[in-house]
Amino acid sequence: MTEKEKVERGLLYNPNYDEELIRERIQAKMLCHKYNQLEPSQLEKRRGILQNLFKKMGENILIEPSFYCDYGYHIQVGNNFYSNHNLVILDAAEVEIGDNVFIGPNCGIYTAGHPTDIEQRNKGIEYAKPIKIGNNVWVGGNVVILPGVTIADNVTIGAGSIVTKDIPFNTIAYGNPCKAVKNIE
């Protein structure tokens, strides 16, 4: 079984020894580099690069440079999406983002994680778990969303939060670790 097949099956894998994964990461990083070098007024060229990079993309999408991802083809973005500067999506697994999602600056969405077992980690072994962000979600600046998390619809994530567990519908959540602290009427 190849390392890419292991990723697709949700198993531990080593991304550093699979030629296909390496090639796909380089291709995605080349597209991110092109994207980040465009002038701010080149909105159609930006959109074209994202269409080539993402698995699925809705209408009215704006991601301010700099933007980085690992593969791109695991990312699905709905309609009316905005991300401020310095968004990083480590998309070894699926990242599904709904409609009307707004992300503040300096945020990370990380499907990739590393084992706590020292021998495995030192060999470069990692795992990937999907992340889902629902509709009508606002993510404040400097937020990190970790592997396997689902953020339900109608949620606000406070700035500086580290989201380690699922966040329920219609809530305001913040902290480290991030927790739902208030229901939204």
Catalytic residues, which ones? 114
Strands 112-113 and 137-139: unpaired
At 110, phi and psi to the nearest 5? -120, 105
Instruction: Report the distance separating Cα 32 and Cα 40, nearest Å.
Output: 14
74 neighbors 85 (Cβ within 8 angstroms): no
Amino acid 54 reads F
